[in-house]
Each structure stands twice: as C-alpha cells, then as structure tokens.
Amino acid sequence: MLRGSLLNRSDPCRFSQIHKPKMEKRSLQEPDDFGKTHERMLSLDAFRGFVIGSMLLVNMTWNESVFPQQFFHVPWNDPQQGATFADLVFPWFLFIAGASIPFSIASRRRRGISHTGIVVSAAKRAVTLYLLGVLLTVAGSAYTQPLSWNNLLQWNILQLIGAAYFIAVCIWCLPSCWRIGFVVLILAIRWITMMVPSWEAASALAETRAPTDAPMGPHTWAHFDALRQIYSFEHLKPSYWKTFFSWFGASQEYLPGAAIAVLGGLTSSFLATNRTFRGASRVVLTGSTIVLVSFLLQYDYVPTGGGILGDFTIPFSKWFFSPAYCLLAAGTAMLLFVGFFVVIDLYHWTTAWWLRVWGMNALALYVAAEVTFKMVLTKWLVRLPDGESDSLAAGFLAWTEHATGSAAVAGWSFVLSWLAIWWLACWWFYRRGIFIRV
C-alpha cells in the first residue's frame, strides 16, 4: 500500500536537537501573518504518529483469516470497489504532509526566504522523496531482477508523496483563493475523465484484449485493468512510449493527492489561527459535510453503471483516486485531525507523547521498516518446524503457531512485535532529541 514520510520540516536533512518554540497568542488569517504564529501543534505530530503506526500495522497483516477485513485493501479487480481503513491510510498521510506546509512556509518567510526559494526547496525535497521511493521499489526486486533505468520511472508511495507535496507547496504560494479553486478544479477534471467516453479509449480496450461490450465511461468499471492501463497510458506501443507516457499518467494519482494535501493545509492553518472549541466545531462540521458528499457521490453504485446520480455515480476507488474517494479521505482526515487537536492542543492531554515518538521520525521509520522487511525479513532464510526453510518472517509465524497451536496468536504476535521494535527504535531517537528530517 501506499506509505508516508515526514514532510513538514523546514530545515535541511540533518540531526537536530529538540527545542521549545516561543508561545505567542495570535489569531491571524493572512498567510504572511500566519508566519508569526510560533506555537507548535502537537496534535499534528501525534496524528502523523497514528498514521505511520497504522501503515506499519496494515502492511504486516496479510492473513485474512486472522485479521479484520478493514486491515486489507479492497480487491483490485473483482471489479469490487470501495474503501477500507487500509485504503485510507495513504491519503491521510498526504493530508498530513499538506497540513505541515503552512508551518514550513511560515518558518521560511520569517527567515526572509522568497517564494522562489520556497519552491526550489520543495523541489529538492520532492526529488529526495522520489529517489528514496525508487530505493524502496528496487530493494527487494534487485535480488532477482537486474537494475534498469526503468526503475527511475516506476511510481510508488514515496514518489507519489513527493510529487503531490511539491504541487501543494506551489499552490500554497499562490493567493488563498487559488487553493480552494485548485481542489475543485482537480476533482472536477478527475470526475469528467471518468465519465466521458472516447473512441481512443474504446480502441485501447480492444488493444488490451479487454471486453469491449461497453464503451469507456460510467458503465465500464467491470473492465478495471483496461481502464487502469488507459489512464496510465500503459496500452501504448512500442514499449518506450509506454514507459515514458505512463510516467506522466501517474498524474491521475498525484494531482488528486495534491488536492488532498492542500485541504490538509487549509485545515491546519485554520486551526492554528482558531485554537478554540468553536474553531474545532467548524472543522468537524466541514469534515462531516465532505464525508457525506463523498457517500452521496457513490451511493448505490454498481459496476455496470447507475446509482443515486445515475451515470454520474462513481465509486470509492483508491486505484483511480476517484473524487468520491478523495473526499472521503480528506473528510475523515479532518475529523481525525480535529479529534487529536481537541484532546492534545485544547485539553493538553500529555499522554499522547507516545504517538509523537513515531510522528517525529516518520520518514526514517518508514524507510527503515520497508528496507528491513524487503531485504531481511523476506530474504533471510531460517529452518521451519517441518525441516524446510523459508524467510525470517515466515519462520517467526511458523514457529509461533507451532508453539501455540494458533494462527491468530502467531499473526498478532508478529504484528505487535514489529510495532514494538520500531516504537522502541523511535523512542531511542526521541529521548536523545534526534530527528531525521528532509
């Protein structure tokens, strides 16, 4: 699934010490004035920690007979659509990345950095994230497949986050009216591209040998793979055109992702300048309305077309970043964020520090966990109880089930051990004031 990274830091990648920001009571609305608000939103760190912990959790739950269905993605091509808890974790992190943008930009403005400098810095971060994503993409496959320049053009979690983050920063540097306009425009275009048939798309369906008894548009969700290939230009030939254009075809994901990030920035900037229960209640109302709209957009959807909006009904679809899915992700993220905000920033619930342990080193945690899983847990071999050999992860599960007689105990033991190990590692860094930042 799609994963997260620490995108809210304004300083270059380095080790640094914890410092307590000066507290100023301000209620300022304009972006330039917002930069004078120094008080840190601890709820944002805790929310980030909650999401990165959720990522580790859903990435390790692969036994559907043991773990709740909400820990698994909706099947890719049943053609079942929808959204589970696992499907929402990645866009939540996009939301968090965007929520950090106002603070990062405000910090740079206080230091006299121009908009051009801010955009250049964001571009450097985006490239760093993209290259880290490439590293994670090849970390496991390079054992069996030779490295290729094509690896640089393969999209994955961190690559998408980097692209969405950069676009969101650029939008945030524009006048405030552009931000909402960008969100509305991107989601409207995404909706239109899913609705309008075209003879090129129909031809592509035939080229990919997909069923062609329905044209491109609202009645073709049963041809999921063909649609995915068309939207990503994967049906093009020869192969080098496919590779080149499919890289740009990922805009179907990172542009809507940027819209989610911009909504995150709008939410955090509002809460930062309205640190009251009244301000929190307005965010709750907004988030609830967005969630309601998302359900209406896909209500009574069926793969062959139809629903409350007729042919305009589009399902929750992570794979297509459909408008309904984006609104569901953004609305639920708002509600979660404001929940953390009320409990931590308004009620000052200090117990949440254990979530901040994860949230303060999210990028390092994600990269380290992914590399360890791909290069150690799934590659190093151990003996199984039956004398055969398998990966370290499979060995842990097999030996635990052999000792306890329960697959459920084995599965949960593995997941909880994995979470505990990485929490302790982050806690060690947290206690020493070491934060790895991009």
- What is the per-residue pLDDT across 195-238, written as a single tens digit (0 to 9) for each? 765 445 545 544 544 444 444 445 455 555 566 666 666 666 66
Structure tokens at 219: 């009645």
**427 or 243, higher pLDDT:** 427
What is the 8-class DSSP label of residue 346? I
Per residue in 305-340, pLDDT tens? 667 777 778 888 888 898 999 999 999 999 999 999
Task: Give the mean pLDDT of the chain.
Answer: 82
User: CA angle, 85 as apex, 352 and 374 as ends, to 5°?
Assistant: 85
**176 or 305, higher pLDDT:** 176
Q: For 90-94, 215-219, 279-283, 296-300, which range has the lowest pLDDT when averaged over its residues?
A: 215-219
- pLDDT at position 360, please? 93
Model pTM?
A: 0.85
How far is Cα 313 from Cα 297, in angstroms, rounded to an integer?
A: 6
Q: Is residue 4 predicted with pLDDT exceeding 70?
A: no
Per residue in 256-278, pLDDT tens? 999 999 999 999 999 999 999 99
Phi and psi, residue 117, nearest 5°: -65, -35
Highest mean pLDDT among 1-5, 12-16, 75-79, 121-125: 121-125
How far is Cα 392 from Cα 401, in angstroms, rounded to an integer?
A: 14
- The average pLDDT across 150-156 equals 85
How far is Cα 175 from Cα 157, in angstroms, rounded to an integer?
A: 29
Residue whose entry in the numeric block shows the structure tokens 């004031």: 433
- pLDDT at position 232, please? 67
